[in-house]
Amino acid sequence: MEHDQIKAFTDIVKYGSISAAASNTYTSQSYLSHKLLTLEQELNATLITRGKGIRKIELTTHGVEFLRLVNQYHATWNEMLQIGKSQDRMHLSVGAVHGINAYTFRDIYRDYVMKHPEMRLNIYTYHSRDLYEKVASRENDLAYIYNAINYTDIIVTPVFKEQFCLISKADSPYYDGIMPNELSAKDEIYIRYNKEYEIWHDQFWSGNHYVVRISSTNSAVYLMDDKIDGRLPIYPRQKY
């Protein structure tokens, strides 16, 4: 695979057709067609749909995936070109789920950057399962997750625990110190944190009797309808 083949493909995608790409890059249509054909032959995959009456190119499923990889390739290539221009600084890549990045570690990241100007800190947000893959592929040096799972060559160490609290409106009938068994599952906004939380949760509220179940804490407050007193999410205490 040659750079000219990749460039021909991206030019065709950029300008929408082989003829438009040829006109804008001052090359011939036959040249671009040949480069595209040899690229597809090497990949053993059709990247662009051809046919009479198709004025603008359409990417196949393989074409969409190849374009994604090409964009990654270009980004990596540009990073490599910047190596000699950047200062000699160490990099630390940290991944975490949204709640940890946005709330728990927000001040920690800021303090770290202030105290360690010699470091380049890269922060990424993914779901827990995706973070295992990022660490395994060495895209992230370390990651903070909610769910501990068995993953080859990955060491999982508990770092911290946090209390959970019930969130309700100020004029709700719920009082400070209310016990879980006094709450009804039919009023619950169920946020799935991790397996340990689910085990604790099901001791009090088994079955599927919640109002709504979500995987992210961000939506819970907006689901507490002003007209309904009883919708209840349970949050990590540090979040609010």
Write the pLDDT tens digit of every residue in 138-166.
899 999 988 778 888 888 888 877 777 78
Burial (CB < 10 A; 0-12, 13-18, 19+), residue 53, is exposed
Contact in structure between 109 and 123 (CB atoms under 8 Å): yes
- Please give the model's pTM, rounded to 2 decimal places: 0.48
* Cα angle, residue 120 at apex, residues 114 and 122 outer, rounded to 5°: 105
Express as a percent the part of the chain with pLDDT over 90.
Answer: 30
Q: What is residue 11's predicted lDDT score, i.e. its pLDDT?
A: 92
Superfamily of domain 90-144 in CATH is Periplasmic binding protein-like II (3.40.190.10)
> Residue 125 above 90 pLDDT?
yes
CB atoms within 10 A of CB 88: 6
Three-state secondary-structure class, residue 35: helix
Of the listed ranges 84-93, 127-136, 221-230, the least confidently predicted one is: 221-230
> Residue 228 above 60 pLDDT?
no
Confidence of residue 49 (pLDDT cuts 50, 70, 90): confident
Residue identified by tokens 């790409």 is 21
Amino acid at 118: E
CATH architecture of 3-81: Orthogonal Bundle (1.10)
